[in-house]
Chains A and B, each alone.
Chain A
């Protein structure tokens, strides 16, 4: 840090403010001076900030080096500098573009992700080094027709070769165009391919980075067309201003990114305190998503007993897999993984998240996992309850059908036969047998009637055939007390829902009769995804527990409210 600070101070001293003699861009105008300092010092400051952070240390180093290289031209043109210092300037200068290239492609944490980027960065350094050292060894500034920053000194000169020096200049100018354009293209591709949260993080650094790349290219093109650089000309001075401002903005973006990462880390480690005493299911995911600025973040809890993953609400989820810019980070507590967090890879690297998440938050994660486990078991239980109820209902329906198609039909046929036999006996004048057959016919009719009642009691066919509304209307027709049935929604629901609703009403009516009510009013309405049944009567207080209704409604995830003279049931109906 001390080195950086002293370098910064030295640079401020070195950067000339006067225009005579004009040896650097900073001397052209106050604006150029300010922009030059802002870019270089900005890079140094942002680099220092990033360097302190372990996660962005490499990035910080790159920014620091770029900041040092940025001031190369100023050292070269330092009017009061020694020959050695003024000779060092042009050596570091070419590395600025290579470092900028590296820095922008290594965003956001300082690592190059693919072989092509790695290859091009190495190539850029190679060209920069070749040109830098070549010029140091063979360029005599005194013999350079285009020199303007320092036309006297080169402390490293071993052999004067103006032709070679000119070629090296030319190579560098052309390479700069290529590197600048590559930076623009590769950076733009990065930005286009990034996911939402990653783009949010990359934008403030990548965009100025691209502009700086474009500026470097523009500068090289200008040099190619006008080898004798004139800092006062509008073209050169505006390119310099644009380049400096882009670099300054890049430095600002870098600093913002580092601070943002710090904020995220702090938020993650503070997580537990924000959750409160008894957070509702799924709160942890929301809190973590907010802390990390990644709305698509998912948390999956592993249930060792059931051998599956569930979310905070206990619903089964797919086993999380990394990919498409998403990382899966396990959260470990007491050496056991308790949860997997799926999040955007660009925001906070997996290990960082696992490191930063505090022990209190770890406890909260374990808590939520236990809660999810209980919820998942409840879900299982509900499913099994509703399976039992459904199996029973299907069995009843089958029984009713068997009765209808079997015994009832046979009894019907028997009564038709008895009727015919009776008619035959009457025709033959056999009154004794006719009477006997008549009484047999009546018995068959009575049996048929009882069988019908029985079958209806086992399962009301009308419910399955025509639905809730007609079935309830029929029940109301036959009830032993007035039943006021408001318009029941005519649409069909699933069999378990219809059966539960039907039994709720019939049981409640029977219960009202038991409590000597003089009327029952039944109201069935659909409220969004709920079928709501409200039943009132004027019987004696004390509705019985209606346990098996509660069971059925509970099996469907519904609710039951019992009051002395009323009942309210809500059944989810998709």
Chain B
């Protein structure tokens, strides 16, 4: 697998590059800012780009903007956005236009090589990757009347995995059940929560995140 890494802080960029090399992933280029990143992606068309969300010049959401451009210009290149803060708003913005082959992970999670490599694989498979911290925070959000209480234990588990961006197949493998069972669970969940998005589409991740965020009572 070939990746491009973009982060303006040399120290962390080097760290990620070394971790990737250790895991046998080829780093074809490194960039310090969004322009450099876009250039390298155009030149070497990697399998994925790993992008820090804060980059020059304003150190706000350059990474996010660059990620959206890459997704628009190179649909085959996956983008994994790294952030130091857990921000569901950013994750949702990332999913808004191109809901597949994008990921949003907390920066200190990727020190676990296995997680990093797994995320890159999932992007390559066309899945979405949302940091579990975001999902658990949204699922655990306090609500006055919690519609999630209508879900069974297993359904709640499946809901969390859907929100993390896993496909039915991946969820089935994770829970040691058949894909059909997962499909049935997902259908049931969407029915109970009255979500009108197609439960099998790529849009389902965003729909679930938005639902969880809106809190109780919202449609």
Contact = CB atoms under 8 A, between A and B. Distances in A.
Do the two chains belong together in a single complex? yes
Given A464-B60, A480-B142, A412 B12 contact: yes
A334 interface: no
A519 B89 contact: no
Interface stretch (A131-139, A157-165, A400-408): A400-408
B165 to A, nearest CB: 18
For chain A, what secondary structure do more than half of its interface residues adopt (helix, strand, loop), or is it mixed? Answer: helix
Interface in B87-106: 87-90
B118 to A, nearest CB: 15
Contacts of B107: 412
Nearest to A478: B137
Interface in B125-163: 137-138, 141-144
A404 B141 contact: no
A88 interface: no
B11 interface: yes
Contacts, number: 97
B111 A419 contact: yes
Given A409-B11, A466-B90, A482-B143, A477 B137 contact: yes
Contacts of B15: 412-413, 416-417
Given A416-B18, A482-B216, A401 B59 contact: yes
B11 A420 contact: no
B111 A474 contact: no
A473 interface: yes
A423 interface: yes
Interface in B76-94: 84-90
A356 interface: no
B108 A415 contact: yes
Contacts of A420: 18-19, 22
B89 A482 contact: no
B144 A519 contact: yes
Interface in A472-515: 473-474, 476-485
Contacts of A355: none
A465 interface: yes
Contact of B89 (A409, A410, A416, A466): A466
A416, A441, A456, A485: which has the most chain B beta carbons within 10 Å? Answer: A416
B114 to A, nearest CB: 10
A445 B138 contact: no
B14 interface: yes
Interface in B9-61: 9, 11-12, 14-16, 18-19, 22, 54, 59-61
A452 B87 CA distance: 13
A85 interface: no
A477 B85 contact: no
B84 A452 contact: yes
B12 A518 contact: no
Nearest to A460: B85
B138 A409 contact: no
B113 interface: yes
15 contacts: A409-B11, A412-B11, A412-B12, A412-B84, A412-B111, A419-B113, A448-B108, A462-B87, A462-B89, A464-B60, A465-B54, A465-B61, A466-B61, A476-B141, A482-B216
Interface of B: 9, 11-12, 14-16, 18-19, 22, 54, 59-61, 84-90, 107-108, 111-113, 137-138, 141-144, 213, 215-217
Interface of A: 401, 404-405, 408-410, 412-413, 415-420, 423, 441, 445, 448-449, 452, 456, 461-462, 464-466, 469-470, 473-474, 476-485, 518-519
Shortest beta-carbon contacts, A-B, top 6: A416-B15, A470-B89, A413-B11, A465-B60, A482-B142, A409-B9
Given A413-B12, A445-B108, 15 more contacts: A405-B9, A408-B84, A413-B15, A419-B19, A419-B111, A420-B18, A420-B22, A466-B87, A466-B89, A469-B89, A470-B90, A473-B213, A483-B215, A484-B217, A518-B144
